[in-house]
């Protein structure tokens, strides 16, 4: 009776991985700290995509202090792969890259507008050059009024 109780006791302490795999959960089970029995879906996801053996092997190759982060990132990738069986977490990478391109484009447009405003403000703050005094020219048509100067650098006449 007591032995069956102790067996039941040890079974109840199994991690999600060993419960799912229906095996005894050893005291040094590498998966137990990261796949507790309270979250069985986390292990099921990871097992479906990577396989318990691969996950255990990957965690064993890492120093203990890095295993929690590795288990979390594997769980995240497995979750994204289950949600999107074609692109998985690569789909998130593609989406984020597209977001970056769109934001860079928007930023470049706004910066170009800012440059235009700054150029206009700078030209408005400059005192206008004194008008050139030219002798009136008399041609066959009579005295000619001076024509406004066409400034090749100021085609929209910002300076006047």
Partner 1 sequence: MGGNTPCASCKLLRRRCAKECIFAPYFPPEDPHKFAIVHKVFGASNVSKMLQDLPVHQRADAVSSLVYEANARMRDPVYGCVGAISYLQHQVSQLQMQLAVAQAEILCFQMQQQDSSSPSMAQKECSHKSSL
Nearest by Cα to 42 from 73, 14, 63: 73
User: Taking CB under 8 A as the rule, does residue 56 contact partner 1?
Assistant: no
- Token look-up 């795999």 returns 21
How near is the Cβ of 44 to partner 1 at its closest, in Å? 13
Burial class (CB in 10 A: 0-12, 13-18, 19+), 46: buried
User: Taking CB under 8 A as the rule, does residue 113 contact partner 1?
Assistant: yes
For residue 142, report the phi and psi dihedrals to the nearest 5 degrees: 105, -175
Name the residue nearer to partner 1 (CB basis): 32 or 55: 55
Of the candidates 48, 119, 123, 146, which one interacts with partner 1 according to CB under 8 A?
A: 48
Of the candidates 6, 104, 144, 146, which one interacts with partner 1 according to CB under 8 A?
A: 104
Q: Do residues 35 and 50 make contact, with C-beta atoms less than 8 angstroms apart?
A: no
- What does the alpha-carbon distance between residue 157 and residue 160 come to, in Å, rounded to a whole number? 6
| Interface contacts to partner 1, rule CB under 8 A | 48-51, 53-54, 58, 61-62, 66, 69-70, 72-74, 76-77, 81, 85-93, 96-97, 99-100, 103-104, 106-107, 110-111, 113-114, 117, 121
């Amino acid at each position: 009776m007591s032995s069956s109780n102790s067996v039941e006791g040890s079974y109840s302490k199994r991690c999600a991985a060993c419960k799912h795999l229906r095996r005894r959960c050893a005291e040094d089970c590498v998966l137990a700290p990261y796949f507790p029995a309270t979250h069985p879906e986390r292990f099921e996801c990871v097992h479906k995509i990577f396989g318990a053996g691969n996950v255990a092997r990957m965690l064993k190759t890492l120093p203990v202090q890095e295993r929690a982060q590795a288990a979390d990132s594997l769980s995240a990738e497995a979750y994204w792969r289950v949600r999107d069986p074609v692109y998985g977490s690569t789909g998130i990478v593609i989406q984020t890259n597209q977001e970056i391109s769109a934001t860079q484009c928007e930023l470049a447009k706004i910066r170009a507008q800012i440059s235009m405003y700054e150029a206009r403000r700078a030209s408005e703050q400059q005192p206008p050059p004194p008008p050139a005094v030219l002798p009136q020219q008399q041609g066959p048509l009579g005295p000619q009024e001076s024509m406004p100067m066409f400034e090749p650098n100021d085609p929209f006449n910002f300076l006047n």
